[in-house]
Structure 1
Amino acid sequence: MTSKVVFNNVTRRFDLKNEPFLALDRFSLDIMDGEFVTVVGPSGCGKSTALNIAAGLMQPSEGEVLIDGMPVDGPGPERGVIFQQYALFPWLTVRQNVEFGLRIKGEPAARRREIAERFIDLVGLSDFADSLPKTLSGGMKQRCAIARAYAVDPTILLMDEPFGALDALTRVQLQDQLLETWSRERRTVMFITHDVDEAVYLANRVIIMAARPGRLKEIIDVDLPYPRTEEIRLSPEFMEIRNRVWHAVYHQ
């Protein structure tokens, strides 16, 4: 496998009330092409900062992030970013929201419609394609945001607590749907979460960050087969990995 996203000694400082604050300290990580990694760590350990730098929404103070060997110097269409807040345009329907990035890319109307319908169907929103976001549940809004990110054909998905605001049942359903979509599309995913069970259930590898300043503490391989199922979630093997991750995160 080849490296898709590479963090090379990434450091990020902020000035808070004229005091320097070190959010990331020489953070290095290789994410392989087609890999699903989750990132966990104590609050304030720099998880979102690392993701924002990879997204091109923030510049490092030192070091660099490489995408396919090229330095990141801003946002790019090869990276789809999904945040906890859905950030849908409230005046646009589900279909229009999903088509938005395609419109910016200059895709003709017929092609936009074709691509949008494919991904709307993929996330199970075909019956709501003409609905406005205000009529959708939280889970449906997040599925729409995922469809919009997929529609512009990114090779990388950067996801920052995308299911954090959802109820437990909806969260589990969207985890399964995300894995099903990933298994078909095999995009590279960097997924931030505070939920240890979610981190283990989704990932090929769990990246554990140390308490501030943000550093790489440990990488735990998740040697569990896909597709992931409820039986796997309840298995002794799952619980063993989950306990390793829990101990590494919360006993720092």
Structure 2
Amino acid sequence: MNTPAPEPKIALRDVSKTFQVGGEDFVALKDVTLDIADNEFVTVVGPSGCGKSTMMNTLAGLEEPSGGMVLVDGEEVRGPGPERGVIFQQYALFPWLTVRQNVEFGMKTARVPKAERRERAEHFIRLVGLERFADALPKTLSGGMKQRCAIARAYTMNPSILLMDEPFGALDALTRVNLQEQLLETWSQDRRTVMFITHDVDEAVFLATRVIVMAARPGRVVDVIEVDLPYPRTEDMRLSPQFGEIRRRVWHSVYHQESDRPAATPASTEREAI
């Protein structure tokens, strides 16, 4: 007797989103169907205007889809929720609060007891390597350190899902590589389901279990590429033939799209449980 596949952590079912722009309809997403498994690390790439951020915003509950459904643990998303932590490219730290106070802010708003707030904040500050800067103000931190602070703040709310919209996009190349490795180390210690949007193909391949490729006009999923590389990911792995082949496939899928290319079928966007 076959064991039924586990329910996906995240499920998008024929999700569409249309905006009014200059009195005309602009279709940002059209019939997007996608399953993401619990503890999976998925990256999303595609040309500008393909609906990457719109898809994430509907999953975060910040935008309501025009059609279809977004499900988390089998329940329809009808707004923001504590099980979904969102991290944007802008750090959104309070400049008058220290690293520790910024990390504790969400818990304080949620009326988490002071002793528990401090314990959880200290744990995640250590996890992202900022323990020496816990009492520092954001103006004294580098861009990479500010982003790590934002990641720690999201983690303290104990979300089962992290939604990350180009969080390293404004950083220099070396800091970006270091934070990629730091993020994977954190993920390996405290597994959560991650959707990570990026324009960087190398970053997408290095981080992901799967790369979701989107196309624009209208925004849709056109390819899903498995990244069959072991964790932990290392610097040497970026130079391996296997990495290069996957990178080539993703690059070709993103930058050689045909305007009339059909969207991927639901079966091609759903991952079988192993």
| TM-score, normalisation: structure 2 | 0.91
**Offset of residue 123 of structure 1:** 0.5
User: What is the CA–CA distance in structure 2 between the aligned matches of 1:9 and 1:241, rounded to whole Å?
Assistant: 28
1:251 aligns with 2:256: yes
Which among 144, 149, 165 is matched to residue 139 of structure 1? 144
User: What is the CA–CA distance in structure 2 between the aligned matches of 1:154 and 1:138, rounded to whole Å?
Assistant: 24
Please list every run of 5 or more consecutive structure 2 residues that lacks an aligned counterpart in the other structure. Answer: 1-5, 258-274
User: What is the CA–CA distance in structure 1 between the aligned matches of 2:205 and 2:197, rounded to whole Å?
Assistant: 12
Code of the residue aligned with 2:167 in structure 1: it is: P
SS in 2 for 1:3: coil
Find the counterpart in structure 2 of residue 10 from structure 1.
15
1:151 aligns with 2:153: no
User: What is the CA–CA distance in structure 2 between the aligned matches of 1:184 and 1:133, rounded to whole Å?
Assistant: 26
Equivalent residues of 1:53, 1:59 under 8 A apart: yes
| Cα deviations by residue, 1:72-108 (Å, 9 ceiling, x for unpaired) | 0110000000000001111111001100111122111
**Offset of residue 211 of structure 1:** 2.1
Which among 27, 46, 51 is matched to residue 51 of structure 2? 46
Find the counterpart in structure 2 of residue 32 from structure 1.
37
Which among 113, 116, 129 is matched to residue 111 of structure 1? 116
SS in 1 for 2:94: coil
**Offset of residue 41 of structure 1:** 0.5
1:217 aligns with 2:202: no
| Cα deviations by residue, 1:93-139 (Å, 9 ceiling, x for unpaired) | 10011001111221111110110000001101111111111111100
Code of the residue aligned with 1:217 in structure 2: it is: V
Provide the alpha-carbon RMSD of the alignment: 0.7
| TM-score, normalisation: structure 1 | 0.99
SS in 2 for 1:99: helix
User: What is the CA–CA distance in structure 2 between the aligned matches of 1:195 and 1:211, rounded to whole Å?
Assistant: 17
Please list every run of 5 or more consecutive structure 1 residues that lacks an aligned counterpart in the other structure. Answer: none
**Offset of residue 190 of structure 1:** 0.2
SS in 2 for 1:199: helix
Alignment map for 1:1-252 (pairs within 5 Å): 1-252=6-257
Equivalent residues of 1:14, 1:23 under 8 A apart: yes
Find the counterpart in structure 1 of residue 265 from structure 2.
none
SS in 1 for 2:155: helix
Equivalent residues of 2:51, 2:219 under 8 A apart: yes
Identical columns (%): 72
Aligned length: 252
Q: Where do 4+ consecutive residues of structure 1 move more than 3 Å? A: none
**Offset of residue 236 of structure 1:** 0.3
